[in-house]
């Protein structure tokens, strides 16, 4: 959502990118809470129901599929020992 490449270090973000990232984090967390969180395997809310925010993921677990914004193929990489997915057109390094 913030269009920041996952390999870009926080030390290399400018003030506008930091502000955009903070705003996007707040928006995503708010939307996720309203959707009951994300159920990928066994997560459920206290009443036993499952979250549905995973339907809103733009790149997570979408490697090889088309970006919903620009139709580029979503790529995957391992960064700091963790697999991540990103759109090479929307998230430019």
Backbone conformation region of residue 51, classed left if phi is above 0, alpha if psi is from -120 to 50, else beta: beta
Asked if 3 contacts 91 with a C-beta cutoff of 8 angstroms, the reply is yes
Per-residue pLDDT of the chain (93 residues; tens, 9 = 90+): 899 999 999 999 999 999 999 999 999 888 877 766 666 656 666 777 666 666 667 777 788 999 988 999 999 999 889 889 999 999 988
Q: What is the structure's pLDDT at 12?
A: 94
Handedness of CA 88, 92, 77, 53 (dihedral sign): negative
Q: What is the structure's pLDDT at 55?
A: 67
How far is residue 91's CA from residue 89's CA, in Å, rounded to a whole number? 6
How far is residue 76's CA from residue 69's CA, in Å, rounded to a whole number? 17
Q: What is the structure's pLDDT at 74?
A: 93
Q: What are residue 29's phi and psi, to 5 degrees?
A: -60, -40
Q: What is the structure's pLDDT at 75?
A: 93
Residue extents of the structural domains in the chain: 10-86
Reported CATH class of domain 10-86: mainly alpha
């Amino acid at each position: 959502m913030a269009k920041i490449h996952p390999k870009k270090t926080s030390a290399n973000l400018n003030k506008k990118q930091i502000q955009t990232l903070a705003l996007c984090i707040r928006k995503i967390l708010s939307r996720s809470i309203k959707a009951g969180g994300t159920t990928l395997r066994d997560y459920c809310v206290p009443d036993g129901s499952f979250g549905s925010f995973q339907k809103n993921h733009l790149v997570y677990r979408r490697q090889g599929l088309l970006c919903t914004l620009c139709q580029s193929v979503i790529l995957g990489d391992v960064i700091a020992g963790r697999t991540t997915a990103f759109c090479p057109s929307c998230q430019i390094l």
